[in-house]
């Protein structure tokens, strides 16, 4: 998430009412999660296990719960609760705006686009030319949709990220200030849910086709001309490269990459990153030939046991 203007380190510290380390005029340009940070961004960290990752990331401002040595060229914001204060920043720079109409007056809708009854189009949404949005689709604020996109009934674009911190009193949600970006010529089936990024974009690449009842988690990036079949669940921060095929009921863990032109067969659990150009099956995931060979061998176990038992009986 980039701010509309540059802020100073002191201005951000004053907003959070926290101590800072660094030049008070140090430039702050935005805030982002660890996997998408750039120079000028704030990143938060609240566990010693991840201090080094945050301090050595591309982010130049680290919101942290302990005063540590500050790397050269960076600044620190010292907070007793970085998670809470990251939410404060999201609320300040990207507050929730309620709507009182079905299609916001700030939405931009391209020529030839059809929006069927009972759909919702939020604030700041941009929809390209010649799209077809079927009934009961919910398009949350700031979603970007390209040209020639078809979205079927009941789909939700831009729901919050499934991202929580466990507290003694329950779960505290990390607020989502990101977007969903749907590129040209994408098709999305009925009853799909595509969550917005925490601070960045959840992106569906040009020409990708998504079947009914598919879930795409926050900050996931899906490449061009992918095919994703029904009841697939894709976790947050996943990278799916171009021309990947995911068949029905595939599930993935977060933070992994599926390589270009990979094919993942139905009901596979993608438990790790996999290279492109191969076919995969099973949980944990492996190349389909190996997985099917193992399944065939397992079926032979009763026959092998019978032979062993017969040999023992002869002795």
Output DSSP code: residue 274: B
**Catalytic entry in 134, 152, 215, 218:** 218
Q: Which of 275, 255, 217 is nearest to 36 (CA)?
A: 255
CA distance 9 to 24: 5
CA distance 219 to 162: 11
Dihedrals phi, psi of 221, to nearest 5 degrees: -120, 115
Residue 303 three-state SS? helix
47 tagged catalytic = no
Cβ atoms of 143 and 158 within 8 Å: the answer is: yes
Q: Which of 267, 208, 198 is nearest to 241 (CA)?
A: 208
Q: Is residue 132 within a helix (H) or strand (E), and if so which, with residue range? A: strand 132-133
From the DSSP assignment, how many helices (H) and strands (E) are in the chain?
Answer: 5, 34
Nearest-10 crossing angle of helices 288-299, 301-314: 40
Enumerate the active-site residues.
218
């Amino acid at each position: 998430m980039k701010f509309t203007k540059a802020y100073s380190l002191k201005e951000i510290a004053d907003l959070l009412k926290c101590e800072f380390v660094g030049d008070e005029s140090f430039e702050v340009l935005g805030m982002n999660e660890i996997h998408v940070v750039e120079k000028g961004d704030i990143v938060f960290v609240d566990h010693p296990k991840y201090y080094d990752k945050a301090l050595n990331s591309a982010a130049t401002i680290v919101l942290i719960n302990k005063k540590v040595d500050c790397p050269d060229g960076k600044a620190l914001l010292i907070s007793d609760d970085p998670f809470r204060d990251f939410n404060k920043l999201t609320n300040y720079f990207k507050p929730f705006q309620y709507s009182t109409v079905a299609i916001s007056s700030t939405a931009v809708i391209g020529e030839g686009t059809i929006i069927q009854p009972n759909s919702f189009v939020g604030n700041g949404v941009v929809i390209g030319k010649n799209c077809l949005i079927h009934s009961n689709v919910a398009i949350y604020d700031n979603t970007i949709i390209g040209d020639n996109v078809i979205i079927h009934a009941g789909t939700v674009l831009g729901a919050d990220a499934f991202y929580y911190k466990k507290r003694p009193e329950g779960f505290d949600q990390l607020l989502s200030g990101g977007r969903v970006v749907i590129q040209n010529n994408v098709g999305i089936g009925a009853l799909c849910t595509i969550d917005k990024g925490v601070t960045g974009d959840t992106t569906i690449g040009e020409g990708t086709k998504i079947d009914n009842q598919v879930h795409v988690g926050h900050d996931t990036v899906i490449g061009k001309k992918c095919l994703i079949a029904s009841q697939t669940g894709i976790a947050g921060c996943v990278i799916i490269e171009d021309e990947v095929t995911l068949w029905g009921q595939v599930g993935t863990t977060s933070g992994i990459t599926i390589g270009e032109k990979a094919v993942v067969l139905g009901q596979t659990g993608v438990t790790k990153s996999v290279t492109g150009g191969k076919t995969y099956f099973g949980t944990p995931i492996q190349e389909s030939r190996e997985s099917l060979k193992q399944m065939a061998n397992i079926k032979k176990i009763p026959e092998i046991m019978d032979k062993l038992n017969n040999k023992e009986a002869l002795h």
